[in-house]
Structure formats: C-alpha cells, structure tokens
Structure 1
Amino acid sequence: MRVIFANHSSAPVNLGGAERSLLRFVDDWQRIDPELQPVFVTKAPEGTFIKELKDRGWPFKAYRFRGWALPSPQPAPAAERAAFATVDYASTRAMIELFRKNRPDLVVTNTLVAPWASFAAAALGIPQAWIVREYGDLDHGLHFQSGRASTFHDIGLMSGAVITNSEAMRTHLAQYMPSEKISVAYPVVDITSLLAGRDDVPEVAPFPSDAPDLRLTVVGRVEEGKGQHRVIEAVGVLKDRGLRVAVCFVGSWKHPGYDQHLLDLAERLGVRDQIVFAGEQRNPAPYVLAADVCVTPSTLEAFGRTTAEYMALGRAVIASATGGSAELVEEGITGTLFDIDDISTLAGAVERYARDRSLVERHGAAAPGRLDALMAGEHTNDAAIRRLQAVARSGSGYQLPAIAEYWFSLPAAYASLGDTSARAAVGLLLNRLRTRTGTVGRALALPRVLLRKLARR
C-alpha cells in the first residue's frame, strides 16, 4: 500500500509534537504492514523533519506554501494575499502531478493549517484522511481565513476518516463534522528514549542550591499560551503563605525576550531567586526527575505530551482542567487539576503537595500505570491504522469537480505573464512600503497618476 503523508512544518529548530507523532505513527504502520510505502510532502526549506525522513530512507517532496490558518488575525493586503496564493496554487498543482504519477492508495494530511495535499487528493478522487492535533485558533492564536466552522466542515467533507489526539479534540471537532468520522489515537510517548537520558547530569542546575519546600518542573515552549506566568504567580502567592517553591522551566522561547518578561514578573513578586530557565534541552528527563511535582499550566492543550512524559517518568502532575491533559491526569490519584482562570486553585494544589510529601510519592507512583492503561486502550495507533487501511480499501474518495484542476492552474499561468507579473510585484511592494514613514512615506504620497506611471514601467 502506498500512502502519502502531508506535513505542514519544516521544523527548523526541533521536531514539534505533530512531527514526532507522525514519525511514530508511520513507524507503527510499517511494523503492522511491512509492505507500506510511505511518501511525504512537506514544507521547504529543509529542517529537522526532513532530516528524520532522510535518516529513515523515506522519500519526500518539499514545497513552499502557507496555509488557510495563519498567525495574524488581520487580513493581509489584497496584493500580498494574491502573491502568496500564487505560491500555494503552484504547490497544489505540483502535488496533483505527483499524486497522478504515483497514484497513492491514500493521502493523509497531518496538519490543521495547510490543506493543499487534501485538495490535490480531492482533485483526483483519491481516498484521504486527516490527522488533527490542535485547535488552531484557541491554542495557537491562528486565524482561519474562512472561519473555524467552515474549515472544520471542509475537513470532514473531504475525509473518509479524521484521527485526533484526545477526547477533548473529538468533542470539539464533532461540532463541525459528522462524529462517526472521528476517532482518537493518543500520541505514543517514547519512554525508552526518555529513560535513556534519565541519569544524565543536567547541563543547567535546575533549582537553587538551597532546600525549597517543593521543586516544580515545567517543560514546554516558553510563551503566553503555555502558561508559565501562572506558575510564577502561584509561587508568589505561596511566598506570602510562608512556602518557598522553586521552579525550573525547560524549553525554548517562541518570542525573544519573553523569558525576561517572566523574570520581571518574578522580580515584582519577590520570587526571582526561585526561578530557573534551563532553555531547550535534548532530553528533559533529568529535569523532570529532579522535581517533586511537574506542572502543565497551558491555556489549552489538544493532548498534553509533556503531561504524558511526566507520568511516564513517575511524577505527580498538576495540570490545567482544559483540553487533553484533563483526561490523562486522574484527579486525586495521579495528580491534580486546576482552573486556569483562578490562580488560587493552582497555588492550593502546589501547597497541598508541599505540606504532604506522602501525596507526592503516592501520586507519582500511580502515574505510570495510569498512562499504560490509557495507551493500551481503544485509543491506539494500531486502531487508527486499521481505520485508515479501511478508508484506503474503499478505493474512492471525495472528488472536486473537474473544473477545479483548471482553476488550480490559473494563478501560475497568470504569474507567467511577465509584464503582468511585474506590475503585480510593484503593486505588492507599494502596499508594503505605504506602511512606512519618513522619506519613503513622503515619496509614496506622490499623486496616484505618477504612481501608476511608475508601476507601468
């Protein structure tokens, strides 16, 4: 069976959860079916994801494209949208030709943000499925260009099956597509790799040298949505209650300077000396094991990979009571859930562990068994793979009208008209420059007739 998997990111610095989960998913599929022929379409330029594909000997094609879910909530200028759409159309056309040449049995889109492989499959009537691992707007602040409801409806319309990574995500998606199309496969936690580095000496001392009342580790990219500020605020509350809680944050920061913003918050609360930023670490296990309790303070996690990793390493977990983490943590057995809108509930959870060390031990000891039970249940990669195999065997998928393939070719044909393309490029440049001030701004304040003459040259 030949399956084309589409991914949305080059993963320039390190593999994200979506990429790691996809690689493990395909590894598991080849274990079940050694005859599987995986082919990948992914985003250029080359990053860590393509390196992983090369290491495995899996063929791939890389394209330049954006998506239908973008970071900015404000519509870009028309000229800019047209320029990027031309690139997206060209990638879709190239995928159509690739799929026509290779004729896969199934196309699997492993992303919420870029539908181009799905469109290519639909142009040819190839069976397809989606793997949706994020909310998009609610967790990452993305803007769906056609709206959330329309985007998820389209995914359900084109897909023979939709695989997601938690019951929370299944419930969310079921608002917009037939629920019978949706199934859950929890991402596999690579416990072997985690444990392989458990005895490593941390490159950065995770906690202050004194003996705090409790040590917390938080693993994840340092950004507002991941909620590190909530932990610092809770530590400030506990300082006023006479408890000294130390925190180690492990992970790179998405926006330069955000770590300093958090340190400034800690300074204002009088807990600066209780906070350590360890940065990105190849293996977080030594930092997790150095803690008494670990925290997932995110606003909303579709699954909660770090929560699962904490549990695999035998640590009690405090997690936000939203999203996937809430179904991983068993309240009062392996950890505690807290209300993200009420810092006092987080502070209270930390305080209970600080004042009852036996609770730390009991919850930590119960965590691996809880994770094993979840991962061995109905939400496995094996079950999801069987579902996708059935979609492939159906032999036909949702198909766009024949005119769609012609439409996909138009922007590239338009861009090939040299003079027209040049005028479009000048128009895009002018749109960009009009937002500037000073000399450029004064130049662009010239009468419109003169600007039109410049554009025609």
Structure 2
Amino acid sequence: MLVSFANHSTAPVNLGGAERSLLRFVEDWAATDADFTPHFVTKAPRGKFIEALDERGWQYDAFRYRGWAVPSPQPAPAAERAAFATVDYAAVSAIIRHYERQRPDLVVTNTLVAPWASFAAAVLGIPQAWFVREYGDLDHGLHFQTGRAATLGDIGLLAGAVVTNSGAMRDHLARYMPAEEISIAYPSVDVARLDATRAAEPSVQPFPQADPGLRIVVVGRVEPSKGQHRVIEALGLLRDRDVTASVCFVGSWKQPGEDQRLTARARELGVADHVVFTGEQNAPAPYIDAADVCVTASTIEAFGRTTAEYMALGKPVIATREGGSAELVDPGVTGALFDADDTAGLAAALAGYASDPATARRHGAAAPDRLAAVTGSGHDNAAAIARLTALVGTEGYRLPQVARYWFELPAAYSSLGATSARAAAGLLASRLRSRSGAVGRLLSRPAAVVRRVTGR
C-alpha cells in the first residue's frame, strides 16, 4: 500500500509541530503494517524536513509552491496572485503527472495552507485525507485568499476523512464541514527521548541568578503569537508584589531582534536580570527539568505540543484557555488556565505556585497520568491509521476532467513570454531576490519540480 503524504514547509530552521507529528505518525504506521510504503510530496528547497526524510531513507519529490493562505492580513495584489498562481498550478500539473506514474493508494495532505497534492489527487480520483493541525488565521495570522469558511469547506468536500489534533480544533472545523468527517488523533510525545535527555547538561544555564525564585520555563518559537511578552509582563507584576521569579525562554525566533525587544521591555519592568534566552535547542528536556512550573502563553494553540511535553516530564502547566492546551490541563489538579489577555491572571497563578511549592510538585506529579488519559486509546495514531486505511480502495472525490486543463493554463500563458503573468512573475522574482537571494533564485527557475529523490 503506497501512501503519499503532502507537506507544506521546508522547515528552514527547525521542524515545526506539524512536521514532527507527521514523522511520528508515519513511523507508527510503518511499525504496524509491513505492506505500508510512504512517499512524500514536499516543498522545495531543501530544509530540515527533507533532512529528516533522508535520515529515515524515505522517498520524496520536492516542488516549489506557495499556498491558498498567505502571511498577510490583506488580500495579495493581483499581480502577486497571478505570479504565484503560475508557480502553484505548475506544481499541481507536475504532481498530477507524478501520481499518474506512481499511482498511490491514498493521498494525505498534512497542511492547512497548501492543497496542491489534494487537487492532483482529485483530478485522478485518488482517495484522500487531510490532517488539519492549525487554525491558520487565528494562530499564525494567515489570510485565506477565498476566506476561512470557503477554504475549510473545500477541505471537507475534498477529503474522505479529516483528522485533527485536539477537540478544540475539531469543534472549530465542525462549523465549516460535516462533523462526522472529523476525528481526533492527539500527537504522540516521545516520552522515552525526553526522559533520556532530561539529565543532560544544558548548553545555556537556564537560571544563573543567585536567587532565581520561582523557576519558569517557556519552550517554543519566540514570536508574538506564542506569548512570551505575556510572561515578561507577569514577571513585572510579580516584582511589584515582591515575588521573585525567573524565566528561561527556549526556542528560536524568525524576526531579528525579537529577543532584544523583549529584553528591553523586561528592563523597563526591572526584571531583565531574571530573563534568559537560550535560542534553539535540540533537546529541551534539560530546561524543562530545571523548572518549577512551565507556561504555554500562546494566543491560541491547535494542540499545544510543548504543554504535552511539560506534562510528560511531570511539570505543572499554566496555559491559555483557548485551544488544545486547555483540554490537556486539568485546572487545580495539573496546573491552571488563564485568558490570553489577562496577564494579571497569569501572574496570580505564578504567585500561587511561588508561595506553595508543595502544590506545584503535586500538580506536576499528576500531569503524566492526565496526559495519558486525554491522549490515549481511541484518540491516538493507531485510531487515525485505521481510519485512513479504510479509505484505501474507495472512490475519491473527483474534479471534472477540464480541471487538468485549467491547471495547465498559467504555465501555457507564461510560456508565451509576453503575458501579464510572465511580467508579474519577473517583477515578483526581482522583489523577492532583494529580500532573499535563495527565494529569488528559485522563483527565477522555469521548472516547477526543483528536485526529485528516488530514495535509497
């Protein structure tokens, strides 16, 4: 049984939660089914995700494409939409040809933002499923070019099954597609790896202060949506109450100077000496192990992988009330919840643990069992594998035959050499080249397929 998995990101710096969840899912499927063969359609150029595929000896084909959700609060200009349509539709046409040669039994789209493998499957009538692991607009600030309702509704139309990573995400999707299509598979946490690395010596001292007070750890990419600024503000409120606390932020950042901006605010609040940024760490477990309490301060998380990792390592968790973390944490038993805009509520929860370390330890001790109870049988990878396997041999949603012709039109127009789409592509390539040499060079290439790997 050949299953093609479509991914949306090159993962240039590190593997995101969607990529990590997909890799673990495929590993679990391969471990239980000798007839299962995975293949991947992924985004070019080479990044951490392709490196992970190479490490596992899994086959893949890499294409260049964008998506139907873009990182802008406003609709993209017409010229930009035309330029990217040329690239995206060329990718669809290339994936159609690839699937005609390969004939996968099932196509699984592991992204909310790039539907191109799904479109290719629909042209050929191949059964398909989707993993939806993010909100897109609410958590990452993306703009759905046809609107949220239309985008999610189309996913429900194309997919024979939709698998999501939390009850919160399921409820969100059920507003836009039939609820019976949606099931939950909580991402697996590699507890063995966490336990094996928790005693390692941290490369950066997480709490170098002579008196750190309450030791707080926050793991995750450093950016506004992840809420590190909320923890800084809470530290300032704790200082005003004469409560000593220190925080260690573990994770990389996309925007240059994000750590400096947060440090500047901490300095204004008089707590800069109690803030540490470690940058990206391959093994976050030693930092989590050093904490008294861990915080998930994101505006909203579809699942909350770091919340699960904190709990797996026996730490109490204070998390925002919106999204998947709220269903993992049992308030008053394994941690506390607060509203994202209620920094005072976060500070109060931290102050409670600072004044009562025994409760912090008790909540942490209860966390692993709580995590196992929520994410266990019936809502795990095994259940999702059974659901996807049942799609093999069924009739997939099929687009009309003319769809293939439509997908080939932008490339046909651009081949004329004097069309507006061609001009827009050239202008956009020049614009992006000035921002990112690698991206600009990729856009200047004529072919949709950047690299094809046949495996080992």
TM-score (normalised: structure 2): 0.92
**Bigger Cα displacement from structure 2, 158-167 vs 55-64:** 55-64
User: What's the counterpart of residue 73 of structure 1?
Assistant: 73
Superposed, 1:6-405 pairs within 5 Å as 6-394=6-394, 396-405=395-404
Q: 1:413 to 1:214 in 2, by over 3 A?
A: same
> Which amino acid counterpart does residue 367 of structure 2 have in structure 1?
A
Q: Which runs of 5+ in 2 are unaligned?
A: 433-456
Q: Does 1:406 find its partner at 2:405?
A: yes
Is the contact between residue 208 and residue 273 of structure 1 (CA under 8 Å) also seen in structure 2? Answer: no
Measured after TM superposition, the shift of residue 199 of structure 1 is: 1.4
CA deviation string 1:375-399 (max 9, x = no partner): 32321100011001111232x1110
In the alignment, the residues of structure 1 paired with residue 327 and residue 32 of structure 2 have an alpha-carbon distance, to the nearest angstrom, of 28
In the alignment, the residues of structure 2 paired with residue 167 and residue 159 of structure 1 have an alpha-carbon distance, to the nearest angstrom, of 19
User: What's the counterpart of residue 3 of structure 1?
Assistant: 3
In the alignment, the residues of structure 2 paired with residue 297 and residue 424 of structure 1 have an alpha-carbon distance, to the nearest angstrom, of 44
In the alignment, the residues of structure 1 paired with residue 342 and residue 261 of structure 2 have an alpha-carbon distance, to the nearest angstrom, of 21
Q: Highest Rg: 1 or 2?
A: 1
Measured after TM superposition, the shift of residue 80 of structure 1 is: 2.2
> Which amino acid counterpart does residue 117 of structure 1 have in structure 2?
A
In the alignment, the residues of structure 1 paired with residue 169 and residue 421 of structure 2 have an alpha-carbon distance, to the nearest angstrom, of 45
In the alignment, the residues of structure 2 paired with residue 240 and residue 77 of structure 1 have an alpha-carbon distance, to the nearest angstrom, of 48
Q: Does 1:424 find its partner at 2:415?
A: no
Is the contact between residue 288 and residue 313 of structure 1 (CA under 8 Å) also seen in structure 2? Answer: yes
In the alignment, the residues of structure 2 paired with residue 42 and residue 48 of structure 1 have an alpha-carbon distance, to the nearest angstrom, of 11
Is the contact between residue 197 and residue 285 of structure 2 (CA under 8 Å) also seen in structure 1? Answer: yes
Measured after TM superposition, the shift of residue 9 of structure 1 is: 0.6
User: What's the counterpart of residue 438 of structure 1?
Assistant: none
User: What's the counterpart of residue 446 of structure 1?
Assistant: none
Q: 1:63 to 1:432 in 2, by over 3 A?
A: closer
Q: Secondary structure at the match of 2:391?
A: helix
Q: 1:79 to 1:422 in 2, by over 3 A?
A: closer
Q: Secondary structure at the match of 1:3?
A: strand
User: What's the counterpart of residue 453 of structure 1?
Assistant: none
User: What's the counterpart of residue 437 of structure 2?
Assistant: none
In the alignment, the residues of structure 2 paired with residue 338 and residue 80 of structure 1 have an alpha-carbon distance, to the nearest angstrom, of 40
> Which amino acid counterpart does residue 293 of structure 2 have in structure 1?
V
In the alignment, the residues of structure 2 paired with residue 155 and residue 92 of structure 1 have an alpha-carbon distance, to the nearest angstrom, of 16
CA deviation string 1:54-111 (max 9, x = no partner): 1211111000000001101223332222111101011000000111111111100000
In the alignment, the residues of structure 1 paired with residue 219 and residue 203 of structure 2 have an alpha-carbon distance, to the nearest angstrom, of 15
CA deviation string 1:20-43 (max 9, x = no partner): 100110111112211101110000
> Which amino acid counterpart does residue 188 of structure 2 have in structure 1?
V
Is the contact between residue 208 and residue 246 of structure 1 (CA under 8 Å) also seen in structure 2? Answer: no
Q: 1:342 to 1:419 in 2, by over 3 A?
A: closer
> Which amino acid counterpart does residue 155 of structure 1 have in structure 2?
I
Measured after TM superposition, the shift of residue 248 of structure 1 is: 0.4
**Bigger Cα displacement from structure 2, 422-431 vs 17-26:** 422-431
Q: 1:353 to 1:81 in 2, by over 3 A?
A: same
Q: 1:94 to 1:260 in 2, by over 3 A?
A: same
TM-score (normalised: structure 1): 0.92
Measured after TM superposition, the shift of residue 431 of structure 1 is: 11
RMSD: 1.7
In the alignment, the residues of structure 1 paired with residue 229 and residue 426 of structure 2 have an alpha-carbon distance, to the nearest angstrom, of 43
Q: Secondary structure at the match of 1:26?
A: helix
Q: Secondary structure at the match of 2:353?
A: helix
Q: 1:426 to 1:133 in 2, by over 3 A?
A: closer
Measured after TM superposition, the shift of residue 196 of structure 1 is: 1.7
In the alignment, the residues of structure 2 paired with residue 346 and residue 266 of structure 1 have an alpha-carbon distance, to the nearest angstrom, of 16
User: What's the counterpart of residue 448 of structure 1?
Assistant: none
**Bigger Cα displacement from structure 2, 243-252 vs 370-379:** 370-379
Is the contact between residue 77 and residue 431 of structure 1 (CA under 8 Å) also seen in structure 2? Answer: no
Q: 1:369 to 1:8 in 2, by over 3 A?
A: same
> Which amino acid counterpart does residue 44 of structure 2 have in structure 1?
A
In the alignment, the residues of structure 1 paired with residue 307 and residue 91 of structure 2 have an alpha-carbon distance, to the nearest angstrom, of 37
Is the contact between residue 186 and residue 375 of structure 1 (CA under 8 Å) also seen in structure 2? Answer: yes
Q: 1:155 to 1:429 in 2, by over 3 A?
A: closer
Q: Which runs of 5+ in 1 are unaligned?
A: 434-457
Q: Secondary structure at the match of 1:391?
A: coil
**Bigger Cα displacement from structure 2, 218-227 vs 376-385:** 376-385
Comparing both chains, which one has the higher relative contact order based on Cα–Cα distances under 8 Å and sequence gaps of 6 or more?
Answer: 2
The size of the alignment, in residue pairs, is 432
Measured after TM superposition, the shift of residue 207 of structure 1 is: 1.1
> Which amino acid counterpart does residue 160 of structure 1 have in structure 2?
G
In the alignment, the residues of structure 1 paired with residue 121 and residue 429 of structure 2 have an alpha-carbon distance, to the nearest angstrom, of 37
In the alignment, the residues of structure 2 paired with residue 429 and residue 47 of structure 1 have an alpha-carbon distance, to the nearest angstrom, of 23
In the alignment, the residues of structure 2 paired with residue 283 and residue 431 of structure 1 have an alpha-carbon distance, to the nearest angstrom, of 39
Q: Secondary structure at the match of 1:270?
A: coil
In the alignment, the residues of structure 2 paired with residue 422 and residue 362 of structure 1 have an alpha-carbon distance, to the nearest angstrom, of 62
CA deviation string 1:295-354 (max 9, x = no partner): 001100000000000011111111111100000011111111111121111111001100
Q: Secondary structure at the match of 2:123?
A: helix
Q: 1:362 to 1:426 in 2, by over 3 A?
A: closer
> Which amino acid counterpart does residue 224 of structure 1 have in structure 2?
P
Is the contact between residue 79 and residue 431 of structure 1 (CA under 8 Å) also seen in structure 2? Answer: no
In the alignment, the residues of structure 2 paired with residue 301 and residue 76 of structure 1 have an alpha-carbon distance, to the nearest angstrom, of 26
Measured after TM superposition, the shift of residue 423 of structure 1 is: 6.3
